[in-house]
Amino acid sequence: MVISLRRKNKHIGSHVVMCIWCLVVLFPIWVLLINSFKTRLTIYTNPFWVPEKWNFGNYSTVFKDGNFLLYFKNSLVVVVLSLALVLIVSSFASFALANWKGKASRRLYLFFIAGMMLPIKIASIKLLEIMRALGLLNTIWSLVPIYVAMGLPIGIFILTEFIREVPRDLTEAAIIDGSSYVRVFTTITIPLTRPALSTVAIYNLIPFWNDLWFPLIFINDEKQKTLLLGVTRLFGQYQTDWSKVLAVLTLSAIPVLALYLCMSKQFIQGVTAGAVKG
Amino acid sequence: MSKKKNSIIPHGNYWIIYVLPALLFYVVFMAWPLLDSLRLSLFTGNNIATRKFIGFGNFVRLFTEETSRARYWGAFVHTWYFFFIHMLVQNCLGILFAVILTNATMKGRQFYQTVIFIPTTFAVLVTGYLWKLLLNPVWCGDVLSKMHLSFLVRPWLGESTTALTSVALISCWQWMGIPTMMFVAALRNIPEDCIEAADIEGANAWQLFAHVKLPMILPVVGMIAILTFVNNFNAFDVVFATENVNGAPSYSTDLIGTLFYRVGIAGQHPIGIPDTGMGAAIATITFIVLLLGVLPVLKATQREQ
Amino acid sequence: MKKSSRFLIASFVLTLLIIPCLVAQGTQEQGSQKVVLTMGSWRTDDVEQMGRLLTEYKKIAPNVEIQFQPTNPPDYNATLRLQLDSKTGPDLMYARSYAAGQELFNAGYFADCTDIPGLMQNFTSSNLAPWRMPNGKMFAVPFAAVSHAVYYNKDIFKVNGLAVPTTWEEFLAICDKLQKKGITPLANGVADEWDILECFFLGMLPDYVGGASERVKYESGEKKLNDSSFVAAYQAMADVAKYCPKGYESVTYNDSQVLFNTQKAAMFIDGSWTAGVYTDATFNWGVFAIPAPKGRKTAICFHPDMAITMNTTTKHPAEAKAFLAWLCTKEGATTASKNLPSGYFPMINFEIKLDDVHANEFLALNSGKETDARFVWPALMDLYSPMNQAVIKVMKGQLTAQQAADSVAALKK
């Protein structure tokens, strides 16, 4: 499979490959969208084509049900706050770990990335007890510290590597000129690692937004539920009104997609701004 | 590169402050609860009241009791296969897409990149539902037969020979966006000069990739291999969404993640009595396996300063 | 810079949200005398019905509000477990019968209910048994039982001139006739695994194995789990596989319901709890008992499914107990039955008439027949998974009926 990368041609081969993949992606999404406009049973009589009768009732039920917007708000707060904290805290730590030589630094680095290798679910009981002791149980604030702790290993893993890529000349020149490490960090390192920061943000955005487990065990109060948790109550024990569920899930995917588009813009700007010339 | 400027580089005490906030979150909300839970692997039972210390008893039982052993090794093998499919499909396609997407003169790149990423934004519930519908001969059989594709009409998720591959491919479909994104970042970081130099020397696309691009993005390739490895060994949601927590059919889609959940957290349906000690033992073994896998790859691919 | 703008967005959003929360806080300060109890359950589809029931209870105990907070069934075990272990569990909760519930009592989570007024007096011994410890203590108040039968599409039967079968052989003949006409006879699938066991195999087992008095012989070891009765039962499953939808290996429980509901399948062997799904069906449907083979007596699997109990660590034991006691009175039980979801049957001694036509149809199946709980529930829960796998393998043709029976029998301690 030789894809021609010469700048002169029209990249027909590449377009063919990408179009095939787009089909593979967009067809199921098409199925998702059209079925959210059907009723529970008509999904199955005709799974792949547009509905005979468009049913907007699913979407309107979602909005009439006051709680959807509340769940959405809760999710948004939790995710934005957690992402902000992960980025800030892990970028400081990564900067230190990338510049700090020695055994202690290497050990700390391994300590942090070890967190990626264990399923945090196993610590659920202890975490429940901690949250209860902190009085945060049954509120959305119980989720934030856990998500930050979950996002840190990946953040440190990715950022440390990218910060190491920042040429030493730049940072050392600044130090010689008399600026503190903090200034070097904020004015040089961060802008050059914007793609990495966006990557960490996007990588963590998905599990934070779509997490079902911790909201499930921490939160019982209707008003504090996150979006996905609130929505899964639509899955009855044996009856699942999939048309409604698909409508809600489509709506809940939109903010994530929007957040992704924002972050990927940052990502691309960062890449072109900080393009490293050898 | 530059001369060592030891007098300028601060000692550990200075850097500790930078690391402190991360340490705080991490220790209180992850390290300590996890270590405390791992400690449970040395105890029996599922109940705080009736716990007994049994040393390595759980580990021994895991590998000697017939059903436990069968389940564990089954899950272990399945997880390696799952990882293999991800490396082959998700990561290789990811590199391919990234190479295509970093082509400066190609049109529509932003569109393609967004499309690749859309499945990643979905909750696994959605992916599970969609693919259960699409792969179900009862609902799709008619349509496929009309399109003369009846060889595709099979219960892909229901036969033990095809279920694991199907689930792995579904997972690749969903997560393709992440490695693609990271490879794009890595490829963009390659200095223009290197590429121009190779071009001038008359390298064709494949040579350009194999001899210039790939070596320069090796750390990222290693990073993604590690992340894929770790995620697959903890994978649970995708099996839960497309099959059930038992790894149906006949435990053929049972992964270490589902085994752990079933043994240590939820217990066997419908009784629901978990064995937290045994679950912790499984998690400990997984941790060791992951360390053994990750450390060599880290050493081989990460650049030391 | 990106960081500072992120900060701004975060703090802006935060302020926006704190305000309504503070407002909501304010209004909650009133109503000081009210006691709020939480009730946990795995029945997320009963939110409406339980809501009505609890509203009725409020008329009797105006200062007590009970909130029904169900969790989805796949997550129920894990969630409940964690909450109980960390002392954050609900005040009242549904209790599963036999071993599953006993274990939670032994762990100290379920309260001793033996001296709740009306409990020991108003239920028969066999109805109390599923929630009784070996030493006689009760750990829950029985709430509802379920039944298992064959749902059938009356219209399809009428058009094809079919009558309700009275023997298993007649049943297979009907399936055959329907299949030759191009109609899928059965909607059952095996993708979700539990349904083929709990609804079909265990629903059918009393036909082959007998009622409770026979079951205890298997439990004690007097009869073997791979005797001719069992082998016949597994063989029946193997025989019926070809009448399930093509691709039944991928058919989930939800798919089966849809197949029956859209008339793509003529029959569905299922539990009574699904009756509510078909209330708006566009066709006539009914139920008949899973018939026994010629020469054996048809028996019904009538399974005590749900009971309600209270958490030992509840902050309001008096109010929780009062609710449980209400369920043991005639008025309480009648109100509860009127609001039970379709397909659940009361277990109390009093004569309670149900309004729903189909519910009565189910109950009518019991007359003149032996009934028993699901075979593995009382004492053989360890065999649930092996039996489940054996049934699926026998349907797929991977094991013969004898091999399947042997595989399960070998595991009996």
Separation of alpha carbons C222 and C226, rounded Å: 12
| Residue pLDDT, tens place only, A100-159 | 888 888 888 889 988 887 778 878 878 888 888 888 888 889 999 999 999 999 899 888
Residue percentage of chain A with pLDDT more than 70 = 88
- The minimum CA-CA distance between A107 and chain B, rounded to whole Å, is 12
* Residue A22, both tokens: 């787009």
Separation of alpha carbons B203 and A32, rounded Å: 45
* Residue B141, both tokens: 């059989």
- Compute φ and ψ for C271, nearest 5 degrees: -90, 165
- Residue ranges in chain C whose pLDDT is less than 50: 1-2, 4-5, 7, 10, 15-31
Within 13 Å, how many C-alpha atoms sit on residue C99's CB side?
17
**b or e along B266-283 (b: 16 or more beta carbons within 10 Å of the residue's beta carbon)?**
bbbbbbbbbbbbbbbbbb
Residue B94 scores a pLDDT above 60 = yes
3-state secondary structure B244-304: CCCCCCCCCCCCHHHHHHHHHHHCCCCCCCCCHHHHHHHHHHHHHHHHHHHHHHHHHHCCC
From the list B136, B159, B267, the residue facing C255 with the nearest CB is B136
Separation of alpha carbons B231 and B45, rounded Å: 28
B152 CB neighbour count, 10 Å cutoff: 13
3-state secondary structure chain A: CCCCCCCCCCCHHHHHHHHHHHHHHHHHHHHHHHHCCCCCCHHHHCCCCCCCCCCCHHHHHHHHCCHHHHHHHHHHHHHHHHHHHHHHHHHHHHHHHHHCCCHHHHHHHHHHHHHHHCCHHHHHHHHHHHHHHHCCCCCHHHHHHHHHHHHHHHHHHHHHHHHHHCCHHHHHHHHHCCCCHHHHHHHHHHHHCHHHHHHHHHHHHHHHHHCCHHHHHHCCCHHHCCHHHHHHCCECCCCECHHHHHHHHHHHHHHHHHHHHHHHHHHHHHHHHCCCCC
Contact by Cβ (8 Å): C36, C92: no
For C56-209, list the strands marked E by DSSP: 64-70, 92-95, 141-153, 184-186
Beta-carbon separation of B248 and C192 below 8 A: yes
| Residue pLDDT, tens place only, B189-210 | 777 777 777 777 777 777 777 7
pLDDT on residue C397: 92
Contact by Cβ (8 Å): A274, A190: no
From the list C69, C88, C257, the residue facing A137 with the nearest CB is C88
B80 CB neighbour count, 10 Å cutoff: 16
Closest CA to B174 of B140, B130, B137: B130
Please tell me whether residue C388 adopts helix, strand or coil conformation: helix
End-to-end CA distance of chain A: 31
| Residue pLDDT, tens place only, A184-241 | 777 777 777 777 888 888 889 888 988 888 898 888 787 888 888 877 766 654 456 7
From the list B36, B108, B219, the residue facing A126 with the nearest CB is B36
Contact by Cβ (8 Å): C39, C69: yes
From the list B135, B138, B154, the residue facing C245 with the nearest CB is B138
Q: Which long-range contacts (CB under 8 A, 24 or more apart) does C356-359 make?
A: C356/C275, C358/C275, C358/C286, C358/C287, C359/C272, C359/C275
Looking at per-residue confidence, does B9 or A28 come out higher? A28
Beta-carbon separation of C247 and B272 below 8 A: no
B8 CB neighbour count, 10 Å cutoff: 11
Contact by Cβ (8 Å): C370, C211: yes
For C114-250, list the strands marked E by DSSP: 141-153, 184-186
- Find, in chain C, the residue whose alpha carbon is nearest to that of B245: C74
pLDDT on residue C185: 94
Q: Where are the domains of chain C?
A: 33-145+304-361, 147-302+368-409
Q: Which of B271-275, B276-280, C28-32, C181-185 has the lowest mean pLDDT?
A: C28-32
**b or e along C225-242 (b: 16 or more beta carbons within 10 Å of the residue's beta carbon)?**
bbeebbbbbbbbbbebbe
A123 CB neighbour count, 10 Å cutoff: 26
Separation of alpha carbons C84 and C104, rounded Å: 9
Beta-carbon separation of A216 and C42 below 8 A: no
State whether residue B240 sits within 8 Å of chain C by CB.
yes
> Looking at domain C147-302+368-409, which of 3.90.1150.10, 2.60.120.260, 3.40.190.10, 3.40.50.720 is its CATH number?
3.40.190.10
In words, the CATH class of domain C33-145+304-361 is alpha beta
Please tell me whether residue C184 adopts helix, strand or coil conformation: strand
Which residues, in sequence order, are bridge partners of residue C269? C150
State whether residue A190 sits within 8 Å of chain C by CB.
yes
* Residue B305 pLDDT grade (very low, low, confident, very high; cuts 50, 70, 90): very low
3-state secondary structure C202-219: HHHHHHHHCCHHHHHHHH
Contact by Cβ (8 Å): B96, A17: yes
Looking at per-residue confidence, does A38 or A65 come out higher? A38
Separation of alpha carbons A148 and A89, rounded Å: 9
Task: Tell the CATH topology of B62-301.
Answer: MetI-like fold (1.10.3720)
Q: Which CATH superfamily is domain A65-273 in?
A: MetI-like (1.10.3720.10)
Separation of alpha carbons C76 and A235, rounded Å: 13
Per CB-CB distance under 8 Å, the chain B contacts of C246 are 137-138, 141
Q: Which residues have CB under 8 Å from C77's CB, separation 6+?
A: B266, B267, B269, B270, B271, B272, B274
pLDDT on residue C31: 42
Residue A278 scores a pLDDT above 70 = no
Residue B83 scores a pLDDT above 90 = yes
pLDDT on residue A47: 79
Report yes or no for ipTM above 0.90: no
CA distances in angstroms from B200 to B101, B188, B197, B204, C3, listed in the order given: 22, 19, 5, 10, 41
- pTM above threshold 0.80: yes
State whether residue A238 sits within 8 Å of chain C by CB.
yes
**b or e along B102-126 (b: 16 or more beta carbons within 10 Å of the residue's beta carbon)?**
bbeebeebeebbebbbbbbbbbbbb
Separation of alpha carbons A248 and A230, rounded Å: 10
Contact by Cβ (8 Å): A223, A142: no
Rounded to 5°, the CA angle B98-B104-B107 comes to: 85
Q: Which residue has the tokens 């969790």?
A: C71
Residue A8 scores a pLDDT above 90 = no
Contact by Cβ (8 Å): C189, C250: yes
| Residue pLDDT, tens place only, A183-198 | 777 777 777 777 788 8
Looking at per-residue confidence, does C30 or B158 come out higher? B158
The separation between CA C165 and the C-alpha centre of its own chain, rounded to angstroms, equals 26
Q: Which chains touch B (3 or more CB pairs under 8 A)?
A: A, C
Task: Count Cβ–Cβ pairs < 8 Å, chain A vs chain B.
Answer: 270
* Residue B47 pLDDT grade (very low, low, confident, very high; cuts 50, 70, 90): low
Per CB-CB distance under 8 Å, the chain B contacts of A119 are 234, 236, 257, 260, 283, 286
Beta-carbon separation of C250 and B265 below 8 A: no
State whether residue C38 sits within 8 Å of chain A by CB.
yes
pLDDT on residue A239: 55
pLDDT on residue C6: 53
- Compute φ and ψ for B49, nearest 5 degrees: -70, -40
pLDDT on residue B2: 41
Looking at per-residue confidence, does A253 or C230 come out higher? C230
* Residue A66 pLDDT grade (very low, low, confident, very high; cuts 50, 70, 90): low
Interhelix angle for B124-134 vs A12-35, to 10°? 90
Beta-carbon separation of B153 and C247 below 8 A: yes
